[in-house]
Structure 1
Amino acid sequence: MEIRLLHTADAHLDNPLSGLGKVGNARRKEIARAFERVVSIAIEKGVTALLLAGDLYHDPSARSSPWVKSLFKKLERHGIHVLAIPGNHDELPACKAYMEEFPPNVYIFSGEELTPYTRIEGLSIYGVVSTDKHRRVLKGFRKVDAPGFHIALVHGQYRLTDQFAENYCPIEPEDIELSGLDYIALGHFHNFMDCSHGRTRAFYPGSPARLDFSDIADRVVLLITLNDAAVSVEQVPLEDRQYITVEADINDPDHIHHQVASIEDEAACVRVRLSGITGDPSISSSIVDDLVEKYSDKFFYFCVEDKTDVMIGDLDDDFTIRGKFLQRMRQRVQDARDGEDALRVRYALSYGLAALRGARLK
């Protein structure tokens, strides 16, 4: 027996995208079309079920719910089931759309325990709604004693080594490995990630469309094939607009312009993130204004984030850690052997000030 499923998550329909300004509405429509494309792929691939692992909607208002229902009815006409869990953006009971009447092919998990849905031959599919964001929903889980394949839908944060990572409904590697499940359809992280451990395959598909500049990976939906031999996972590509970040130092304006001008994709969303040290705050303001004036009309969306630090002129009476650090680094700049050495010191100064602010360093 072979069963095929399609796994997606984090569509975030109705996202206001207020940061995109005048192009926000156009981008919202693109995000909706990306989800519609997922539905089309489910039909093209002839899957048994579409798995939605949370945050279908960006907020509980779920204004797109009538349109989403029409897509679910389209899947019903092709004999395709829809199994979904709410996420942290469209959680129950706030999101009333999940409690409405759906076509018979749709099942929304609403319990706080991983309970199985067994109405599809050969499958036991588990889903959970977590009202405790600190709870490890997979900890101690054991599948029911039933033949066929065992699949779970979980919306939560896989444990990363990064100390600044969010800890929403944490998922530990051992929770995956000891679950005994064949596949875990994860949601919450917006880029593709393989979290498989032991014999259990577990993946984040990422959002169907990029939602902000942190969504750097290619967009995909996951085609899961289950048979007696193995569980295979295929990344089916989704076309999407590029989000490009240009990291630039305030002390090299010519290079900043060169970096931006070399971007050939005019359909991209482009962000310039300025860093570095300046003794005059008007310098960064001038560079920002110049960049915005020159490139705002070249790309679908363009913005500049000014993360520069100002080197305060008189630091002799500043006895804070920041003040002492700046005093030392100012002297290092003055003692630099050449321009390249001075630039390295400025980079070190920039990273040091960012660390003192508690910023996340890369």
Structure 2
Amino acid sequence: MPSSLVTRIRTVPKVPPAGGASTYGARTGSVGPVASCLAVRERAETGSLETGPPSGHQLRVLHTSDVHIGHVRGPHGTHRDVCQCPIHALAAAVAQHEADLLLIAGDLFDHARLRRIDVAHTMELLGSVDASVIIIPGNHDVHDEQSLWGTHADHEHRLEVTGAGVIFLDDPEGATLHFGEHDLTLWGRAMDSHDADYRPLAGVPARPDAGWFIAAGHGHFQRTPDDAHRSSPISAEEIEATGADYVALGHWHVTTDVSVGDVLAWYPGAPMGMPSNGTASLVTFERRADGVREPVSVSHVAVTPPGDGCAEMT
């Protein structure tokens, strides 16, 4: 499956998903997929492509993973059969911290047996989040022949999923997004097989000449040579080779710093469930009015489920 370039478009209508990304919904100004670099160039020439941010710009990304819809349940109140407390909690965290992007680095869903209506409800809730939402699959929602995504993300079923602005990166070779108004390039690779041969950070493209760069992957960080047999391995060398400003990881539920050299890399913890209950990483990118980029900062924020549960929430 070829990778695709996805870009934020102001005035050009969305086109059907192509290559490495699927987009849900059609909210005006949300991210839509572009079939080729030529399409991007044509839009740039007509002035419809978003330009870079002005000086004095700040970008906040809320990084989460291992949400496990279909397994976890909120600790308080009453709940739907498929508890959506983690999504409500993440939406509240996005609003509280004024995040521009919500990045889910794998395992949004716990398994592939969820009903279409429950998947659609999750996507609708994500679509109501006041931020662009980007998702890569992990080992629990792996994108293989029995993929939950393959069942629910085809064209017919997508019409039932009204989550505007939700982007699913479905290319096992990796796909690139560009958010021009934030001067951000984001690369992510879909997991299509959870085994030792799958390497989440293989094939990361060269860092762009300008702007911030995030790489996203879901897998196990190799602390020692004894980890060589683990599925979906990630090495320190691979993290450093990305040259990214930030590597957004998923798979470990404990908030963990695996930064290497000048490359910041974190597992954010899980929004619910033990251990490391209720955390996410808030990554802040800032450019001063004089154009100088401040060092990227990472803080860890609480993700608090609704006190009365999700049964009555829409």
Does residue 82 of structure 1 match 2:118? no
Residues 14, 140 of structure 1: alpha-carbon distance in 2 compared, 3 angstrom cutoff: closer
Work out whether residues 84 and 122 of structure 2, in 8 Å CA contact, stay in contact via their aligned partners in 1: no
Alignment correspondent of 1:127? 188
Q: Which has the higher contact order (CA 8 A, sep 6+)?
A: 2
User: Partner of 1:141 in structure 2?
Assistant: 204
Counterpart of 2:100 in structure 1 is: 48
- Cα deviation, residue 32, structure 1: 3.0
* CA gap 1:181/1:234 in 2 versus in 1, 3 angstroms: same
Q: Judging changes above 3 Å, is the alpha-carbon distance between structure 1 residues 130 and 66 closer, same or farther for their aligned structure 2 residues?
A: closer
Deviation at 1:108, TM superposition (A): 0.5
Instruction: Give the CA deviation at 1:216.
Output: 3.0
Query: Which of 264, 267, 276 lines up with 1:217 in the alignment?
Result: 276
User: In the alignment, what sits opposite 1:237?
Assistant: 302
Give the 5 Å matches for 1:7-46: 7-15=63-71, 32-46=84-98
Aligned residue type for 1:234:
S
What whole-Å deviation, never above 9, does each CA across 1:14-40 have from its counterpart, x for those lacking one? 1289xxxxx9x9788796313311111
Question: Which position in structure 2 is the counterpart of 1:254?
Answer: none
Aligned mates of 1:29, 1:83 — CA distance in 2: 25
| Structure 1: distance between partners of 2:265 and 2:137 | 18
In structure 2, do the counterparts of structure 1 residues 207 and 28 end up closer, same or farther at CA, with 3 Å as the change threshold?
A: farther
Offset of residue 144 of structure 1:
4.6
Identical aligned residues as a percent: 28
Kept after mapping to 1: 8 A contact 2:65/2:108: yes
Q: Unmatched 5+ residue regions in structure 1?
A: 18-22, 241-362
1:163-186, Cα deviation, whole Å (9 max, x unpaired): 479712100011111211111111
Spell out the pairing of 1:121-200 with structure 2 (5 A cutoff): 121=181, 122-132=183-193, 133=195, 134-139=197-202, 141-161=204-224, 163=226, 167-200=230-263
State TM-score, norm by structure 1: 0.57
* 2:138 corresponds to 1:97: no
Rounded Cα–Cα distance in structure 2 between residues aligned with 1:98 and 1:8 = 21
Change (3 A) 1:8 1:16: closer
TM-score normalized by structure 2?
0.65
Partner secondary structure for residue 2 of structure 1: strand
Which structure has the larger Rg? 1
Partner of 2:11 in structure 1? none
1:50–1:81 CA contact under 8 A, matched in 2: yes
Does the C-alpha gap of structure 1 residues 29 and 237 become closer, same or farther in structure 2, counting only changes over 3 Å? farther
The residue number in structure 1 matching 2:270 is 207
- State how far apart, in whole Å, the 1-side matches of 2:301 and 2:81 are: 21
Match of 1:72 in 2: 126
Q: What RMSD in Å do the two structures reach over aligned CA positions?
A: 2.8
Q: Is residue 72–residue 272 contact of structure 2 (8 Å, CA) maintained in 1?
A: no
Q: Tell me which residue corresponds to 1:245.
A: none
SS of the residue 1:92 aligns to:
coil
Shift in Å at residue 103 of structure 1? 3.6
Deviations, residues 180-214 of structure 1 (Å, cap 9, x unaligned)? 1111111111111111111111111122111xxxx
Q: Which has the higher helix share?
A: 1
Secondary structure class of the residue paired with 2:220: coil
For residue 112 of structure 1, report the CA deviation from its aligned partner: 1.5
Contact 1:140 1:179 in 2 (8 A): no
- Superposed displacement of residue 48, structure 1: 1.2
Distance 1:3 1:166 in 2: 38
For residues 82-129 of structure 1, the C-alpha deviation after alignment (integer angstroms, 9 at most, x for no partner) is 000011111224112344535441110011123211144311111111
Alignment of 1:321-360 (within 5 A): none
Displacement of 1:54 in angstroms is 0.7
The one-letter code sitting in structure 1 at the alignment partner of 2:133 is V
Counterpart position of 2:22 = none
Supply the AA of the counterpart residue of 2:285: L
Residue number in structure 2 paired with 1:58:
110
Instruction: Give the direction of change, closer, same or farther, for the CA distance of 1:141–1:70 in structure 2 (3 Å limit).
Output: closer
Structure-2 residue corresponding to 1:113: 173
Q: Is the 8 A contact 2:185 2:208 kept in 1?
A: no
The whole-number CA distance in structure 2 between the counterparts of 1:237 and 1:27 is 21
